[in-house]
């Protein structure tokens, strides 16, 4: 119930500030603050670095790259797990930062059962790295990561 209320509040981020939600208990307040910090750190960093957002395919590649490597991502913006990363990308999609162009790319990543504003969609995009590695272009993903200001992942053969 708490998460549903928090999600509704965050979904309406354009219409009113999230702090307009009246929380019922200290527990809800702590959960809300933790959720805001984790979701908005990476989301706000991406929005600052790329205010015009990304096309869906680029956002999906960035999501996959962050699943594989977090090189160049500031420590305070790192998602703690895949679910947190999926929540961040779903929030970016709800706010219009992820621009959907063609749904054929959703099918490519096996994520066509969910809307891009759902956590499940982005979990499927990340799972594609393991389930269908032939569909993942990590070179392009690295280029997108550089486009938003993350350093290129070092390859093992280049030395560390």
Alpha helices in 69-156 (DSSP H): 82-94, 104-108, 119-131, 138-147
From first to last of its 160 residues, the chain has per-residue pLDDT tens of 444 444 444 444 444 444 445 556 666 666 555 555 545 689 999 999 999 999 988 999 999 999 998 889 998 888 889 999 999 999 999 989 998 766 666 666 666 677 888 898 899 889 888 888 887 888 899 999 999 998 876 654 444 4
Terminal-residue alpha carbon distance, the chain: 46
The SS3 of residue 99 is strand
pLDDT in tens, 100-140: 766 666 666 666 677 888 898 899 889 888 888 887 888 89
**Residues 39, 10: contact at Cβ < 8 Å?**
yes
pLDDT at 160: 42
Average pLDDT of every residue of the chain:
76
pLDDT at 104: 63
Note the pTM of the prediction, 2 decimals.
0.69
pLDDT at 136: 82
- Greatest Cα-to-Cα distance within the chain, rounded to the nearest angstrom: 54
Would you give the distance in Å from CA 89 to the centre of its chain?
Answer: 2
pLDDT at 37: 53
pLDDT at 47: 93
């Amino acid at each position: 119930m708490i998460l549903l209320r928090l999600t509704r509040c965050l979904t309406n981020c354009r219409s009113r500030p999230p702090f307009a939600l009246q929380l019922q208990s200290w527990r809800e307040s702590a959960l809300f603050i933790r959720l805001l910090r984790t979701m908005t750190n990476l989301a706000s960093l991406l929005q600052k670095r790329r205010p015009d957002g990304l096309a869906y395919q680029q956002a999906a590649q960035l999501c996959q790259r962050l699943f594989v490597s977090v090189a160049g991502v500031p420590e305070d913006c790192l998602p703690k797990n895949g679910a947190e990363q999926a929540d961040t990308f779903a929030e970016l999609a709800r706010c219009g930062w992820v621009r959907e162009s063609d749904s054929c790319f959703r099918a490519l990543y096996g994520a066509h059962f969910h809307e891009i504003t759902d956590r499940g969609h982005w979990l499927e995009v990340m799972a594609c790295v393991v389930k269908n590695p032939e569909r993942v272009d990590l070179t392009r993903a690295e280029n997108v990561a550089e486009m938003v200001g993350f350093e290129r992942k070092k390859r093992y053969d280049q030395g560390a």
